[in-house]
């Protein structure tokens, strides 16, 4: 579980990244979850956007993907969300205590 200080730090890092995933009306499939897991393992911090034709909103989708990838929802703003998952091997981001 992230502390408030860690979440704030991750939000500041997320400002500089672009969404690498888009979730549309097709929703969340097995392949998308695999891609999220791969990206989270490599980058630890991932931003995604939910297209307007999606059947769910960013909050619902971020919580579902977070649950399926064992990651933390850092932030949801409008149609975008940010997920974080600490890498088991090579840590990319050093979180403050």
- Given a cut of 90, is residue 56 above it in pLDDT? no
Q: Mean pLDDT, the chain, as a whole number?
A: 92
Record the pTM: 0.91
1, 22, 43, 54, 86 from 17: Cα distances, Å: 22, 14, 11, 22, 17
As a whole number of angstroms, the distance between CA 60 and CA 31 comes to 19
Domains and CATH numbers, the chain: 4-84 (3.30.110.60)
Chain position carrying tokens 């091997």 = 89
3-class secondary structure, 77 = strand
As a whole number of angstroms, the distance between CA 90 and CA 61 comes to 27
> Which residue would you say has higher pLDDT here, 8 or 1?
8
Q: pLDDT tens across 9-55, in order? A: 999 999 999 999 999 888 899 999 999 999 999 999 999 999 987 77
Residues 6+ apart with CB under 8 A from 26: none
Contact assessment for residue 47 and residue 19, using Cβ atoms and an 8 Å cutoff = yes
Contact assessment for residue 27 and residue 56, using Cβ atoms and an 8 Å cutoff = yes
pLDDT the model gives residue 88 = 80
Token pair belonging to 66 = 């977070």
């Amino acid at each position: 579980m992230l502390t408030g200080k860690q979440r704030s730090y991750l939000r500041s890092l997320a400002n500089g990244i672009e969404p690498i995933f888009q979730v549309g009306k097709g929703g969340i499939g097995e392949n998308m979850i695999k891609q999220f897991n791969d990206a989270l393992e490599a980058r630890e911090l991932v931003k995604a956007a939910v297209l307007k034709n999606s059947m769910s909103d960013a909050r619902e989708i971020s919580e579902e993907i977070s649950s399926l990838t064992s990651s933390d929802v850092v932030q949801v703003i409008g149609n975008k969300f940010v997920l974080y998952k600490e890498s088991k091997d090579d840590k990319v981001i050093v979180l403050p205590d």
